[in-house]
Amino acid sequence: MNVGLFGIENVNIWVDAVIRLQLIVILMTVVVMGLIYGERKIIGRFQRRLGPMRTGPFGILQSLADALKLVGKEDLRPRGADPWVFELAVYFVFVPVFMAFVAVPFAFDWNVRVLELGLFYVVAISSINIVGWVMAGWASDNRYAMLGALRAAAQGISYELPLILSLIAVSMVVSTDAGRGSLDLGVIVAEQGHIPYIVWQPLAFAIFYVAMLAELNRTPFDIPVGESEVVGGPFVEYSGIRWSMFFLAEYAGLFILSLVGAAVFLGGWAWPLGEEVGPVWQLLLTAGKALLLIFSVFWVRVTMPRMRIDQLMGFSWKVLLPMSFALILVNGLILVYDWPDVVLLASNVVGLIALYLIIDRGITRRRVRPPARAGAATTA
């Protein structure tokens, strides 16, 4: 007997899958429009503005108006562009983001399919969009688009490794009936209980959060789409509905990685007090924790300046990647020798302090020196 969504019994497996996919499409569209509106309002408040106010009550229909405007725009293509690659690039960016929703759990048994390798699937399928960015930049026959695409590829590859290693560091300490380690997002949430993994592994969360910002090309890692440098990045030649699909994929990716972070580090739908709650409360808890991460991303955008390309690449290969490998090694030693969880927490705290000191030292070394006094002797 198959039990479908909402506990409905005797449902055909394919019908149930189609229903779940349709719900995901609706959810993704509504969430992305809400995130766009929310970001504009939040940034407006940070900058002492009102944000969108004209369209609908409190400007709540502004995202819908923008979507209708983009749909009605003409779909232009540069004269020297490769037509097939130019059009396929959009789908290489959009489709992987949509497919990643298949394994992301919103509550207990509230996903399209329960995958034992769900965490691996989400990370692997989400990384395909780098191919779409490179295709868009190359096919546009625009030097700014190509430069932005190369930046996106270099940045994505550099920060994909710390992102994966930080998630592996958590998944390897999950206790299951078969022993240690699990890539099932539902199992990871269930094993956290009322103490989320962010308490035991704060260093892994810090690495994940920084790598997430870089993977999403969010400030201060928005070098591939910098308007002042590359005029919008790989999709500078896109317009209308195709450009809106790039935009939709960006915010959908933000929502997906926030859901993954909420499930792996914040306990997902688990109630902090350890009590079991119903499916509605589980959805609200998961959404609330994901929105908390999304709000922090918006906050960082307002407060942080853009990094230079050399700083961005050096921070990944010289700082985050070695610390990720060290975290994996320490977690492995703790599992092999069966040390208590206090050792796990202590090692993460030490690593977090080291990461802070490295960042602080880098900022201090790059401070502008005071100008020389007037009349001071100069040498050739």
What percentage of the chain's residues is helix, strand, coil (to nearest 5)? Answer: 70, 0, 30
- The type of residue at 79 is R
The predicted pLDDT at position 165 comes to 94
> How long, in residues, is the chain?
380
Residue burial 349-367, b: 16+ Cβ < 10 Å; e: rest? eebbeebeeeeeeeeeeee
Q: d(Cα 320, Cα 164) in Å, to the nearest integer?
A: 12
**pLDDT tier for residue 150 given thresholds of 50, 70 and 90:** very high
Specify if 307 maps to a domain: yes
- Segment holding 82, helix H or strand E: none
254 closest CA partner among 300, 208, 297: 297
pLDDT above 60 for 377: no
Quick check: is 380 in a domain?
Answer: no
Where a domain ends, among 21, 50, 72?
72
Six-digit token string for 64: 């819908």
Alpha-carbon span 312 to 348, nearest angstrom: 23
Q: What's the burial of 46, exposed, middle or buried (CB within 10 Å: 0-12/13-18/19+)?
A: middle
Place of tokens 């900058």: 47
Q: Which of 72, 91, 126 is the last residue of a domain?
A: 72
Give whole-number Cα distances, 76 to 41, 133, 243, in Å.
31, 18, 10
Residues 99 and 58 in one domain: no
Would you say residue 184 has pLDDT above 60?
yes
What mean pLDDT is predicted for residues 21-27? 80
**Residue 159 clears pLDDT 90, i.e. is over it:** yes
Distance CA 346, CA 293 (A): 24
- For 340, phi then psi, to 5°, come to -70, 165
Q: Are 170 and 335 in contact (CB under 8 A)?
A: no
Judged by DSSP in three states, 9 sits in strand
Average pLDDT, the chain: 85
pLDDT band of residue 210 (cuts 50, 70, 90) is: very high
Q: What per-residue confidence (pLDDT) applies to 42? A: 92
Helices 240-265, 185-192: inter-axial angle, 10-degree rounding: 40
Q: How confident is the model at residue 206 (pLDDT cuts 50, 70, 90)?
A: very high
The answer to whether residues 181 and 37 belong to one domain is: no
Residue 378 in any domain: the answer is no
* 237, 170: one domain: yes
Which of 233, 239, 238, 234 lies closest to 69, judged by CA? 239
Task: Compute the average pLDDT of residues 73-94.
Answer: 88
pLDDT reported for residue 176 = 64
Q: Which structural domain range is residue 27 located in? A: 1-72
Q: How far is CA 95 from CA 29, 38, 53, 258, 278, in A?
A: 14, 24, 33, 18, 32
User: Could you tell me which residues are beta bridge partners of residue 3?
Assistant: 9
For the record, the structure tokens of 33 come out as 């429009």
Confidence tier at 359 by pLDDT (50, 70, 90): confident
Rg for the chain (alpha carbons), in Å?
23
Give yes or no: residues 1 and 90 share one domain.
Answer: no
Centre a 10 Å sphere on the Cβ of residue 151 and count the other Cβ atoms it contains: 24
Q: What are phi and psi of 180, to 5 degrees?
A: -100, 145
CA pair distance 378, 380, nearest whole angstrom: 7
212 and 253 both lie in a single domain:
yes
Sign, CA dihedral 231-233-239-241, equals negative
My answer on whether 269 and 203 are in the same domain is: yes
Q: Are residues 60 and 105 in the same domain?
A: no
CA dihedral 220, 222, 227, 230 (to 10 degrees): 130
- Rounded CA separation 154/111 (Å): 32
Residue 124 predicted with pLDDT over 60 = yes
Question: 91 is written with which tokens?
Answer: 């789908």
Is the bond preceding 340 in cis, omega lying within 30 degrees of 0?
A: no
pLDDT band per the 50, 70, 90 thresholds, residue 79: confident
Mean pLDDT, residues 78-103: 88
Amino acid of residue 309:
I
- Would residue 21 count as lying in a domain? yes
Examine residue 52 and state whether it is found in any structural domain, yes or no.
yes
Domain identity same for 155 and 55:
no
Whether residue 374 is contained in a domain is answered as: no
246-296 pLDDT per residue, tens: 888 989 999 999 999 999 999 888 887 766 777 788 888 999 999 999 999
- The per-residue pLDDT for range 33-67, each reduced to its tens digit, is 999 999 999 999 998 888 888 888 888 888 889 88
User: Is 189 part of any domain?
Assistant: yes
Higher pLDDT, 10 or 261: 261
Contact 80, 140 (CB under 8 A): no
Instruction: State whether 63 and 175 are in the same domain.
Output: no
Structural domains of the chain, count: 2
Q: Is residue 202 part of a domain?
A: yes
> What is the predicted pLDDT for the residue at 371?
55
Residue carrying the six token digits 């880098």: 362
Q: Are residues 232 and 99 in the same domain?
A: yes
Q: How far apart are CA 48 and CA 31, in angstroms?
A: 25
Say which residue, 307 or 374, is predicted with more confidence: 307
- The angle subtended at Cα 287 by Cα 7 and Cα 244, nearest 5°, is 105
Domain finish residue from 46, 72, 98: 72
pLDDT at position 380 is: 40
Band (364; pLDDT cuts 50, 70, 90): low
Q: Same structural domain for residues 130 and 57?
A: no
166 shares a domain with 282: yes
